[in-house]
A and B are shown apart, each in its own frame.
Chain A
């Protein structure tokens, strides 16, 4: 039986949609184009098939997502993942938190930071730079944003320059978006509990 995951984990769950994803067999040409479905590439996740209901948004969202998380320069990829994780913890998006905690651990080759955050919550003991990054992402993710000049002052004091601060703003904000799709439109589940 499927079990909805309610606690933060780095063990990425399966995402189970709460609405019916687009059926590839019935997809329109515009949907197939946005999904980049070709005869040799027909594997599309339920999440992307769900978003294909709004094809105009899907088409612009994917390149924007990739640019914010992966474009060269500015803040490191691992630190962008920490921004994403801060937002995902505020919004309690278990799926996004899992994916981006896992990526952070891979990029850093260490699970130390994400272990602490998942074990001790937002108040976990972090290094000065990670602390400033995580706190800013958390504050910005509240509704309304609770980020203030003191948060940016802490970022500057921790050594972030303007380009890095901008990348943090973008990555944390992007997960205000992603969380409101992932956490709202589906459930994080374990399909097979008998496994590892």
Chain B
């Protein structure tokens, strides 16, 4: 199976790198996970376009401009949310956007109130879990990309 995954492409590292080759299963599963959180069959209230916009936004918060551009391509009407200066009010998503920013960039300070606030705002438990999985996967993918880029520089 050709290993053309988002993380390898974004880091500019070839699937023929011996270390990557030895972990090909992990890169395949990483791509499957991307499908599951960005383009799930059962998206709940968070459409594929909204997920793409939030993914782009989290990439920007992490200084990953190229990945942000890649995700923003699927953001459609939610494209403004890819800019962290947009607070989501215009989309009726201010609470969701603020929560996603905090989980992505200030994880350690997340508290019970952040979850109870979403629940009080009418977000169902299953949909809170969906938001967390999207955010959590991106934290992983973005760091894999950042790490691979450094690895490539050091072992070239």
Name A's B-contacting residues (CB within 8 A). 18-20, 50-51, 53-57, 59-61, 63-64, 67-68, 71, 73-74, 90-93, 140-141, 143-145, 147-149, 151-153, 155-156, 162-163, 165-170, 172-174, 176-181, 183-185, 187
Contact = CB atoms under 8 A, between A and B. Distances in A.
26 contacts: A19-B125, A55-B42, A57-B33, A57-B37, A61-B133, A64-B26, A67-B23, A74-B19, A92-B108, A93-B107, A141-B143, A143-B107, A145-B62, A152-B154, A166-B23, A169-B147, A170-B144, A173-B141, A179-B139, A180-B107, A180-B135, A180-B139, A183-B107, A183-B108, A184-B115, A187-B112
A181 B133 contact: yes
B32 interface: yes
Interface residues of B, number: 58
A143 B140 CA distance: 11
Nearest to B30: A64
A162 B153 CA distance: 11
Contacts of A163: 18-19, 22
B120 to A, nearest CB: 13
B128 to A, nearest CB: 6
Contacts of B115: 18-19, 184-185
A31 to B, nearest CB: 10
B155 A162 contact: yes
Contacts of A140: 143, 146-147
Given A53-B126, A169-B144, A185-B115, A162 B63 contact: no
A179 B106 CA distance: 12
A179 B41 contact: no
B115 to A, nearest CB: 4
Contacts of B52: none
Given A92-B107, A166-B23, A177 B125 contact: no
B113 to A, nearest CB: 10
Chain A interface, DSSP helix/strand/loop, else mixed: helix
Contacts of A177: 136-137, 139-140
Interface string B94-125: 00000000011111111010111001000001
A173 B143 contact: yes
B145 to A, nearest CB: 9
| Interface core residue of A60, A153, A166, A170 (most chain B CB under 10 Å) | A166
A18 B132 CA distance: 12
Interface in B56-88: 61-64
Contacts of B140: 173-174, 176-177
A67 B132 CA distance: 22
